Amino acid sequence: MEKFEFVEMTIPAKAEYIGVIRLSLSGIANRMGFSYENIEDLKIAISEAITNAVTHAYEKDEKGEIQIGFGIYEDRLEVMVADRGISFDVEEVRKKAGPYKRSKPVEDLQEGGFGLFLIDALMDKVEIHDHSGIIIIMTKYINEAEVGLDGDQISTTS
Amino acid sequence: MNLEITLTEEGNQSIIALAGEIDAYTVTNLKETFDSVTKKEGQEVIVDLEHVTYMDSTGLGVFIGALKSTKESDSELKLVNIQDRVYRLFQITGLDEIMDVKAAIRGGNE
């Protein structure tokens, strides 16, 4: 089996902790040798995943936790974000996610919904599992050239 | 990990200068600031993002909200001095095509 190291953190499902995780991620990615640009991409991707968990997973005033795992491999970083909250319809969200299209009037623009699209655009590989709660696993390679604007496919399992 | 918001109002012009990080936590205050200026009729709302070092989709969401709100009140929204990394988000999402966004001037001779 491929050797890797694992760092795990648990945070309360609150927006004020997103910045804390960004800092931790920055430290890990920097130590692994990621470029400045790639670290910025990673920071956005992990923030989007945690923001999703904070806003969708738990009812208002419900206390929840979010687990974050960093799988540190020689050539890549695997970031896992998991909540045990209410699941959302991954397929439905994917259909709505995407870049702005000129044909759509400004009034119809969604104020949310770019999160998953950005994760997909900024990471090399994204998997979403929906069992009891949502688990997002996203991978970025250290030496991968800048990811194309259309990104890769998101794979989903339920 | 904070966002500093400085609002300067002069006649029909509102300048909102931002410094720091825009994420799900800091965006709440920004939303309130926008609510207070974008609903006024015939305003020019200029957002200076020169000192914004980090932004994610929650920031994009607030700017979309502000754009809608300024349109409804016959006002204008302009985002200026955006750093490369932040500007990239507008490009990836295609929002640079519907919003008045200007990147930070590089070099100084332009």
Kindly list the residues from chain A whose CB atom is less than 8 angstroms away from the CB atom of residue B92: 99, 118, 121, 149
Query: What pLDDT is attached to residue A85?
Result: 67
pLDDT digits (tens, 9 = 90+) for B4-43: 999 999 999 999 999 999 999 999 999 999 999 998 899 9
Q: Which residue of B has its CA nearest to A103?
A: B98
Query: What pLDDT is attached to residue B62?
Result: 95
Q: In CATH, what number does B3-103 get?
A: 3.30.750.24
Q: Which residue of B has its CA nearest to A53?
A: B24
Which residue, A130, A136, A3, is CA-closest to A73? Answer: A3
Q: Among partner residues B56, B60, B67, which is closest to A47 by beta-carbon distance?
A: B56
Distance, CA of A40 to chain centre: 13
Q: Which residue of B has its CA nearest to A21?
A: B1
Kindly list the residues from chain B whose CB atom is less than 8 angstroms away from the CB atom of residue A118: 56-57, 89, 92-93
Domain boundaries, chain B: 3-103
CB contact under 8 A, A100 and B95: yes
Task: For an interface test with B, give the residue of A44, A81, A118, A147 to mutate (most B CBs within 10 A).
Answer: A44
Which residue, A50, A35, A83, A49, is CA-closest to A154? Answer: A49
Q: Are A138 and A119 in contact (CB under 8 A)?
A: yes
pLDDT digits (tens, 9 = 90+) for A10-30: 999 999 999 999 999 999 999
Domain boundaries, chain A: 5-157
> Is residue A1 packed enough to be buried (19+ CB in 10 Å), middle (13-18) or exposed (0-12)?
exposed
Query: In chain B, which residues touch A (CB < 8 A)?
Result: 1, 21, 23-25, 54, 56-58, 60-62, 64-65, 67-68, 71, 85, 89, 91-95, 97-98
Q: Residue B100: which residues within 8 A CB-CB, separation 6 or more? A: B76, B77, B78, B79
Residue A66 CA to residue B77 CA, distance in Å, equals 36
- Percent of chain B scoring above 90 in pLDDT: 89
CA distance A119 to chain B (A): 10
Query: What pLDDT is attached to residue A102?
Result: 57
Query: What pLDDT is attached to residue A20?
Result: 96
Q: In CATH, what number does A5-157 get?
A: 3.30.565.10
Positions in chain A short of pLDDT 70: 60-62, 85-112, 144-158
**Beta bridge mates, B91:** none
Provide the whole-model pTM.
Answer: 0.85
Q: Which residue of A has its CA nearest to B95?
A: A100
Q: Are A37 and A140 in contact (CB under 8 A)?
A: no
Confidence of residue B110 (pLDDT cuts 50, 70, 90): very low
CB contact under 8 A, A111 and B62: yes
